[in-house]
Amino acid sequence: MDQSKKYDVAISLRWTDVEHARALYEILRDRLDVFFADEKQYDLVGTDGEKSFGHIFRDQSRVVVIFYRHDWGTTPFTRAEEAAIKQRAWNEGYNFSIWIPMDEFKAVPPYVPPQHVWFDFERYGVNGLASVVEERVRESGREVRPETAVDRLRKVKRRIDLEKERESFERSQDGVAFVADSFRRLEEAINLQLGKYREVSADIPFLLEREGDRLRVTSWPYRCSFHIDRYASNVITGASLTAYVNEHVNSSDRRDNWSKVKQIEFKPTLDDNGNPTWRLRSGECHSLETAIAHVLDDFAERVYLAVEKRVANR
């Protein structure tokens, strides 16, 4: 066994897949040394983050797991991770890596050899992935002990403790302050995301307006409304951040005629690290900014498709 490796597994991902990565980490953490950035911040304190990430993925891990999307490798850290993985593969080949395509079209980077098998997460899920990771770690020479009743009890206790923290947070002034801060910063967060679209093309307008306590973004033929319901002044049990996407319905007798396309609701709670977050029903956690980006990226994609259709019909 290569004793020079600090980690048995290192996980690379975009924020979109953080909950999948966390689920994998929770399965493996009691029996393997796993680098998952959300849980290993102390390993990076006082270091150059990009260099540290590169070193971990190139030199310090036996197996590398990549939750791959088309925009993986475009952020500073995933760009460093991609460069490190390529450098390592030059000497070792790609057998140390497990690629999990998360986009709908199931692609991996073109430089990954076509004979290298990728993992179908949609079909086999996180438990199947954990089994594959454990087997790859064993192949590297590392002993992986079976999960015991004590391991399972630790996991259950962590979940119970976290649920207690969440219940307390929902009735705390910290929870109230978190929702109030999001309410104050909502317009700023929306403008931040819209600015990214305007940088790409000023020819596709995104108009932001306030309507009462709602903020509405319009880009023909769609509009998207955001609303934070603070519910009560002393608890956030019923609070929510809700977005409504509507499409204009062509009608000769009523100009302002819209139909609801989608409703997305986030609840304020704590993530698995105990940090305040906006959580989707699916379990995916977001900051205010990434929640807005999650909604508006879908909204903008609908707008772009409508623009392409209009251009094609000219």
For residue range 38-71, list pLDDT tens digits in order: 754 444 434 455 677 888 999 999 999 999 999 8
Please, which contacts does 164-169 make with residues 24 or more away whose CB atoms are closer than 8 Å? 165/270, 165/274, 166/269, 166/270, 169/269, 169/270, 169/276
Spatial CA neighbour of 28 closest among 163, 147, 118: 147
Pair 269, 166: CB distance under 8 Å: yes
Q: Average pLDDT for residues 112-123, to the nearest whole number? A: 91
Which residues are CB-contacts of 157 (< 8 A; sequence separation ≥ 6)?
none
Determine the Cα–Cα distance for residues 205 and 296; give it in Å rounded to an integer: 14
Per-residue pLDDT at 3: 59
CA distances, 294 to each of 43, 189, 237, 258 (Å):
29, 12, 23, 22
Percent of the residues in the chain that have a pLDDT greater than 70, as a whole number: 92
Question: What's the rounded Cα separation, in Å, for the pair 197 and 130?
Answer: 38
> Which residues in 91-109 are b (16+ Cβ under 10 Å) and which e?
eeebebbbbbbbeeeeebe
Residue 118 has pLDDT above 70, yes or no: yes
CA angle 146, 152, 153 (to 5 degrees): 140
Match 């049990």 to its residue by tokens. 237
Give 252's pLDDT tier (boundaries 50, 70, 90). very low
Q: Are 98 and 130 in contact (CB under 8 A)?
A: no
pLDDT band with cut points at 50, 70 and 90 for residue 2? low
In the DSSP assignment, the letter for residue 15 is: G
Please, are residues 9 and 60 in contact by the beta-carbon 8 Å criterion?
no
Lowest mean pLDDT among 64-68, 124-128, 140-144, 298-302: 140-144
Would you call 310 helix, strand, or coil by DSSP?
helix
- DSSP states along 55-70: HIIIIIEEEEEEEE-T
Residues 164-170, mean pLDDT to the nearest whole number:
93
Neighbours of 43 (CB within 10 A): 14
Q: Is the pLDDT of residue 257 over 90?
A: no
More confident residue, 216 or 213: 216
Mean pLDDT of the region 220-233: 86
